[in-house]
Amino acid sequence: MISIAFFNNKGGVGKTSLVYHTGWMFAELGYRVLMVDLDPQSNLSIMALDEDRLEELWPDDEHPDTLYGAVEPLFGGTGDIRPAHIEHLSDRLGLIVGDLALSRIEDDLSTEWPRCLEGRDRAFRVTTAFWRVMRAAAEQHQADVVLIDVGPNLGAINRAALVAASHVVVPVAPDLFSLQGLKNLGPTLRRWRDTWNQARPKAAPSLGEQPGGSMQPIGYVLMQHAERLGRPTKAYAKWQAKLPSAYRESVLGEHAQTTSISPDPLQIHRIKHYRSLMPMAMEVRKPMFSLRSSDGAIGAHQTNVQRCYEDFRTLVDQIAVHVGITRSGT
């Protein structure tokens, strides 16, 4: 299973929008895609579904059709995981819906993590619960790729989500706080990977296959950059110039090169801030690059729609090359 987590310790960089549009573009290009909303704030689900549907999925009592509903029997002590409901956004694009109730299981995930090093069965079942749900759902959906949205923190939910990820994309904005986020994210990611590599061989054979937990960083996506005459504005350019060395040092644990390479091979792509398109896209519940004149995208907006399409197509093509994704049946 090729599973890609979009992860940064800094919020507000457009991460959820990136997952949403990347998922839709993969589907547009013929891939079968499963998106998984592992952020308890459930912003990906809110972006993808209208309020009436969300009310159906989040009633006042139990939530059987969310990600929490799929893992609740295990954490509630009544059984193990159960098959996740897949919300079909299109023929090729599915979503496992998020749930604020995921916050309830954070303590359990935190408690069981170190017990994996002791080889305890329940510790492995708890730590791999998200991965097992995703794997079964990906098989059911015949997904070519799984895209995981997580919150901007270094907590136990995200740790279990990253154990389920074969690859990691880091969305960054060209600002001081994003650089600080990289400094927190990189060492934590390596520590999680190292701990899982130590624990994984201790799982009992009766538990079956365990996730690889490779969490392989494939690069960063520069988000929300502003341009003037085709070049980054001065304020953005200052921080953009610092990103390559910060990513290498913090995320990859490498010594930064004294001379910069342009374009940076670790920058997967950069996405402009399409301020004028996002409100229209949210109103009609479709990606920005799919907006039509009937949605209000007329005049200069339509030019931005085309540019947005080209941006995300390039991004998806690059991600596919990095992780070796092929379409089903090819």
What integer pLDDT is reported at residue 226 of this predicted model?
53
Look at residue 213 in the predicted model and tell me its pLDDT. 92
This prediction has a pTM of 0.92
Per-residue pLDDT at 320: 96
Judge if the upstream peptide bond of residue 263 is cis by omega within 30 degrees of 0: yes
The predicted pLDDT at position 301 comes to: 81
| Residue 251 C-beta-side C-alpha neighbours within 13 Å | 28
> Residue 244: what pLDDT?
86
pLDDT at residue 234, rounded to an integer: 65
- The confidence score (pLDDT) of residue 28 equals 95
Could you tell me the fold of the domain covering 3-323? Answer: Rossmann fold (3.40.50)
* pLDDT by residue, tens only, the chain of 330 residues: 999 999 987 777 789 999 999 999 999 999 999 999 999 999 999 999 999 999 999 988 889 999 999 999 999 988 999 999 999 999 999 999 999 999 999 999 999 999 999 999 999 999 999 999 999 999 999 999 999 999 989 999 999 999 999 999 999 988 888 888 888 888 999 999 999 999 999 999 999 999 999 999 999 999 865 554 455 566 677 778 888 888 888 888 887 665 555 678 899 999 988 878 888 888 888 999 989 888 888 877 888 899 999 999 999 999 999 999 877 654
Q: Which residue has the tokens 């590599």?
A: 197
Reported residue count of the chain is 330
Three-state SS for the chain is: CCEEEECCCCCCCCHHHHHHHHHHHHHHCCCCEEEEECCCCCHHHHHHCCHHHHHHHCCCCCCCCCHHHHHHHHHCCCCCCCCCCCEECCCCEEEECCCHHHHHHHHHHHHHCHHHHHCCHHHHHHHCHHHHHHHHHHHHHCCCEEEEECCCCCCHHHHHHHHCCCEEEEEECCCHHHHHHHHHHHHHHHHHHHHHHHHHHHCCHHHCCCCCCCCEEEEEEEEEECEECCEECHHHHHHHCCHHHHHHHHCCCCCCCCCCCCCCCCEEEEEECCCCCHHHHHHHCCCHHHCCHHHCCCCHHHHHHHHHHHHHHHHHHHHHHHHCCCCCCC
Contact 85, 72 (CB under 8 A): no
Can you give the pLDDT at residue 229?
41
Q: How many Å apart are CA 43 and CA 150, to the nearest integer?
A: 10
pLDDT, position 260:
56
Distance CA 164, CA 168 (A): 11
For residue range 40-80, what is the model confidence (pLDDT) as tens digits? Answer: 999 999 999 999 999 999 988 889 999 999 999 999 988 99
Residue 228: its pLDDT value, please? 46
Joined tokens for residue 232: 């980054």
User: 94, 143 in Cβ contact below 8 A?
Assistant: yes
